[in-house]
């Protein structure tokens, strides 16, 4: 029995350390598993955060890109060309020498200019000016609030305004009763763009020239063969001169005609004469006439 007990103790002494070792190893494995699980959870949270940030960034990029994606504009239906009924050539031809304000007062002139702006992806400029004319007559604060919301949705992304002009609009948007005068800086900026950039291009555009061709009587075209004055105003003659690099001759001729028609024969005429000499008659200048 004592031998059997001693043998049993030896067996236990051999077994117990192994059990303890196994238990320690198990604890280490469990701890490692817990660490891996915590690390995996941390990575999951981090990946989720990154994904959210990327999604948000992608959304912002998409939104920003849509500002410059003119195909994303809503209701970009092409406006119809004005009818040639009831309009004579002198009336349409006068638009080339009139101010933008006068052309916009003409129903057909306004519509033709709108067609040009649509083709140039700038129709929102005119639409904004027209919408402001309605806005400044609004009396209901709720209607004014709704207009300002539409402004930021429909016009602000596409109309080029300064930060100063936008800030004034944002300030009045926070008021209980928005003040239409806060839009005046924005209106002036858009009007200046239309007057100085888009309207001059309209007068040289195919849209305008083709419309003139439609309303021009045959008698006007017959004058081209015998009258230089009738010819110089034609788009195709100017286009021909540009192709042969001789347009400066026509510009010189036009400047001289303007000089002759100047009513003020004093300082203004003297300055204009000097400018003509500097631009066209001084040897070596870019616009020197031959």
Q: What is residue 51's predicted lDDT score, i.e. its pLDDT?
A: 46
Provide the whole-model pTM: 0.58
CATH of the domain at 108: 1.10.167.10
Q: Which residue has the higher pLDDT, 27 or 104?
A: 104
80 falls within a domain: no
For the chain, what is the mean pLDDT?
Answer: 76
Radius of gyration of the chain (CA): 39
Neighbours of 264 (CB within 10 A): 9
115 and 189 housed in the same domain? yes
Dihedral sign of CA atoms 122, 125, 131, 135 in order: positive
76 falls within a domain: no
Of 212, 242, 265, which one is at a domain's C-terminal end? 212
Tokens of 178: 């928005």
Distances (CA, A) of 231 to 72, 86, 115, 222, 228: 43, 25, 27, 10, 5
158 and 272 housed in the same domain? no
207 and 242 housed in the same domain? no
The domain in which residue 177 lies consists of: 89-212
Q: What is residue 70's predicted lDDT score, i.e. its pLDDT?
A: 42
Tokens of 79: 């406006």
Q: Looking up tokens 């839009």, which residue turns up?
A: 183
287 falls within a domain: no
236 and 200 housed in the same domain? no
Q: Contacts for 97-105 with beta carbons within 8 Å, 24 or more apart?
A: 99/195, 100/191, 100/194, 100/195, 100/199, 103/199
CA distance 214 to 126: 25
Q: What is residue 15's predicted lDDT score, i.e. its pLDDT?
A: 46
Of 164, 196, 212, which one is at a domain's C-terminal end? 212
105 and 187 housed in the same domain? yes
DSSP 278: I
256 falls within a domain: yes
176 falls within a domain: yes
Domain total of the chain: 3
151 falls within a domain: yes
Quote the percentage of the chain above a pLDDT of 90: 41
44 and 106 housed in the same domain? no
Q: Which residue has the higher pLDDT, 243 or 152?
A: 152
DSSP 77: P
pLDDT tier at 81, thresholds 50, 70, 90 = very high
CA distance 19 to 11: 12
CA distance 137 to 183: 13
107 and 134 housed in the same domain? yes
Q: What is the largest CA-CA distance in the chain?
A: 145
**CA angle, corner 255, sides to 251 and 260, nearest 5?**
150
Q: For the chain, what's the residue count?
A: 290
> Of 201, 251, 210, 211, which is closest to residue 100 (Cα–Cα)?
201
78 falls within a domain: no
198 and 98 housed in the same domain? yes
pLDDT tier at 11, thresholds 50, 70, 90 = very low
Q: How does pLDDT run across 224-269, given as a tens digit for each residue?
A: 666 665 555 566 666 677 677 777 777 777 677 667 766 665 666 6
CA distance 209 to 93: 9
- Which stretches within the chain are classed as H helix? 2-68, 89-93, 100-105, 107-119, 123-135, 141-150, 163-173, 184-193, 199-203, 206-215, 218-222, 228-232, 235-243, 247-261, 267-276
243 and 205 housed in the same domain? no
167 falls within a domain: yes
244 and 258 housed in the same domain? yes
Of 212, 231, 263, which one is at a domain's C-terminal end? 212
122 and 9 housed in the same domain? no
150 and 190 housed in the same domain? yes
Whether residue 92 contacts residue 212, with contact meaning beta carbons closer than 8 Å, is answered with yes
């Amino acid at each position: 029995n004592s031998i059997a007990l001693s043998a049993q103790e030896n067996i236990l002494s051999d077994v117990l350390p192994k059990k303890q070792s196994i238990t320690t190893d198990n604890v280490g494995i469990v701890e490692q598993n817990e660490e891996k699980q915590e690390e995996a959870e941390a990575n999951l949270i981090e990946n989720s955060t990154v994904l959210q940030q990327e999604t948000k960034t992608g959304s912002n990029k998409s939104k920003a890109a849509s500002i410059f994606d003119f195909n994303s504009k809503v209701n970009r239906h092409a406006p119809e060309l004005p009818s040639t009924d009831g309009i004579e050539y002198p009336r349409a031809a006068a638009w080339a020498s009139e101010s933008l304000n006068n052309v916009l007062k003409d129903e057909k002139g306004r519509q033709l200019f709108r067609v040009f702006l649509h083709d140039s992806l700038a129709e929102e400029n005119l639409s904004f000016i027209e919408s402001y004319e309605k806005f400044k007559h609004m009396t209901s604060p709720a209607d004014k609030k709704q207009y300002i919301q539409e402004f930021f949705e429909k016009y602000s992304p596409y109309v080029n305004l300064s930060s100063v002009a936008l800030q004034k609009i944002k300030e009045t948007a926070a008021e209980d009763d928005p003040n239409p005068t806060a839009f005046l800086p924005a209106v002036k900026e858009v009007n200046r763009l239309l007057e100085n950039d888009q309207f001059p291009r309209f007068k040289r555009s195919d849209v305008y020239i083709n419309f003139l061709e439609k309303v021009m009587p045959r008698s006007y075209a017959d004058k081209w063969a015998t009258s230089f004055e009738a010819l110089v105003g034609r788009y195709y003659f100017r286009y021909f001169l540009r192709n042969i690099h001789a347009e400066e001759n026509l510009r010189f001729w036009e400047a001289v005609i303007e000089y002759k028609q100047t009513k003020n024969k004093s300082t203004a005429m003297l300055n204009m004469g000097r400018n003509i000499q500097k631009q066209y008659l001084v040897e070596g200048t870019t616009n020197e006439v031959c």
